[in-house]
Chain A
């Protein structure tokens, strides 16, 4: 992986370098001159009050929203110029806030579609459900606690299971950068605990950006926390440092 990382003046390795990123919607700057860097194998949590621009940042990285100015470099490739599916193929996976799965398909089929083979029209027509595919689907299904639900239509899963399924769909792509938007929102306490476990197993050998409101959860997983406020970085650093920052306390934690 070392071949593909970006190095700054201090010679540190970054997987993702966001610099001077701005997006304005009719003059409103949802993200304003934002810069941050994510290290290899780092878990970065982005927190901030509602409307701070957290989800917009993920949208910008994965190409759903186009940046007005600024650059996003992922392993020396400029993402702002790439199409969504090219960004995914480059190794960026993204989980949406609401579980985004294919309700009409089974758990197996949901995972199979996410398997990174046969992604072109011809590839999909000639795709064979062979041994390696089945094994990989089985392996992922076990990781996300859904091994006994493979033939179940996804619409009959519980909310928590749907979230896991979507995480599994990302996992099967084996992305180098994984972006999770509120992975434990709406989960029960036990599901939340299981999800934290799940995240701890899947974050190995990849960089992760997580948006989360649950402070307990953030404390458990974060290497580094970035606090966004009105599209700008308010504070950045370890959880302890951020929690002690008076600016943060004022706009966010103090509420």
Chain B
């Protein structure tokens, strides 16, 4: 991945090749896939794309800033649960739940002998609050965590371990507090959004396009952050944290910012997951999904915004296809893939693209691609995906 060289005339934050990349992705997701796939398969792609939000956050947080979080599932889950709480409340109208001993509260609460709606569920009756909460709650959580850790200069492997522990704690908490969270089953039987039935095929198709639209918006946001001076400070921090600190920057505030941003992006993905798949459960919060999300990013290329999206799509597609035929082998395949990425192509598919494909496409894109065409100077330092974290 090249770091954009200072083009003196550049005022727009996208380079020509980035713009082409985004347009290609948009055409693929908005035109090609909807035409080529049946509804059932398209819904799968929609589900995969919700993980792409997480991968996008990881590119900024891990790829650019060198902060490896193994707990992004927590933020995905927080976003997903916020949305699920709203949908569940709507599905639990007094009329729908009249057979319960306490009508008007979610069914799992009734099963757990809870007789009134807990206070923290109350605000989720409002759709406005819910949309805000999807973005803000995970960001606040990341802020508290980031403040506690980054101000104390906890980084690298230690940070990764703590976030992983957090993912485990969160799962245990959700499973344990069955009456408030729906426990191991999660929050299920979600029906409508503001009166609009989300279970129909047409609703799912619309939600797919909403998801793609949001993803493209988030991609643009990520490109903006990357191309701003903040993006370059993140790269500088990953490389020489002390130099940044002794250039007058409060390093921890930049880390907190990017960690919160990644959390919010993951949460948007989580909320879209709930809407499209129709439930949310602790199995998307824990260690395993969190690490899988890191693998998507690594396979796609942790330094490439678009690469991470393709990585997520491909790994998930492979997961679905393989686990249909060889369910036991999939985890080995995933592990093997991760090892291959670390050992053979540390910059993922995006790295392969830039070293082998882009140079051949050079004439098509003119000068823009030529700069990428010199592999030795364009490739980042030859280190495995975990190196930036480990090197701190």
Contacts and interface: CB of A to CB of B under 8 A. Distances in A.
Partners in one complex: yes
Contact of B244 (A89, A113, A121, A126): A113
Given A85-B249, A101-B240, A173-B247, A124 B377 contact: no
A85 B253 CA distance: 11
A127 B232 CA distance: 11
Interface in A56-73: 62, 64
B359 to A, nearest CB: 18
Given A94-B246, A120-B253, A102 B235 contact: yes
A99 B245 CA distance: 15
Contact of A89 (B228, B248, B254, B380): B248
B89 interface: no
Contacts of A126: 228
A156 interface: yes
A125 B228 contact: yes
A99 to B, nearest CB: 10
A209 to B, nearest CB: 14
Given A109-B3, A112-B232, A96 B248 contact: no
Contact of A62 (B3, B229, B246, B380): B246
Nearest to A133: B229
B23 interface: no
Contacts of B230: 121, 124-125, 127
Interface string A116-132: 10111100111101000
Contacts of A85: 245-246, 248-251
B242 interface: yes
Interface residues on B, range: 20 to 34
A94 B380 CA distance: 27
Nearest to A92: B246
B254 A121 contact: yes
A229 B257 CA distance: 44
A83 B250 contact: yes
Given A100-B242, A104-B239, A109-B6, A169 B247 contact: yes
A156 B248 CA distance: 26
A65 B239 CA distance: 21
B229 A121 contact: no
B5 interface: yes
Nearest to A153: B377
B381 A104 contact: yes
Contact of B3 (A93, A104, A119, A134): A104
Contacts of A121: 230, 253-254, 257
A185 interface: no
A65 to B, nearest CB: 12
B225 interface: yes
A106 interface: yes
Interface in B251-297: 251, 253-254, 257
A150 to B, nearest CB: 7
A93 B381 CA distance: 28
Interface in A112-171: 112-114, 116, 118-121, 124-127, 129, 134, 150-151, 153, 155-156, 166, 169
A135 B31 CA distance: 46
A114 to B, nearest CB: 5
B240 A118 contact: no
Given A100-B242, A134-B8, A105 B232 contact: yes
A119 B244 CA distance: 10
Nearest to B239: A102
- A64, A119, A127 pick with most chain B CB within 10 angstroms: A119
A75 B6 CA distance: 37
A96 B381 contact: no
B228 A124 contact: yes
A109 B232 CA distance: 8
B229 A112 contact: yes
A121 B237 CA distance: 13
Contacts of B240: 100-102
A210 B254 CA distance: 31
A93 B245 CA distance: 11
A13 interface: no
- B239, B240, B246, B250 pick with most chain A CB within 10 angstroms: B246
Nearest to A117: B229
A178 interface: no
Contacts of A169: 243, 247
B233 interface: yes
A108 B230 CA distance: 15
A93 B247 CA distance: 8
The 7 lowest CB-CB distance pairs between A and B, nearest first, are A88-B248, A124-B230, A127-B229, A102-B236, A100-B243, A108-B6, A124-B229
Interface of B: 3, 5-6, 8, 225, 228-230, 232-233, 235-236, 238-240, 242-251, 253-254, 257, 377, 380-381
Given A94-B246, A109-B6, 11 more contacts: A85-B248, A88-B246, A88-B248, A96-B242, A96-B246, A104-B380, A104-B381, A109-B3, A124-B230, A124-B233, A134-B8
23 contacts: A83-B250, A85-B245, A88-B245, A100-B242, A103-B381, A104-B235, A104-B239, A106-B3, A113-B244, A114-B247, A118-B229, A119-B248, A120-B250, A120-B253, A121-B253, A121-B257, A124-B229, A126-B228, A129-B229, A134-B8, A151-B6, A169-B243, A173-B247
Interface of A: 62, 64, 83-85, 88-89, 93-94, 96, 100-106, 108-110, 112-114, 116, 118-121, 124-127, 129, 134, 150-151, 153, 155-156, 166, 169, 173
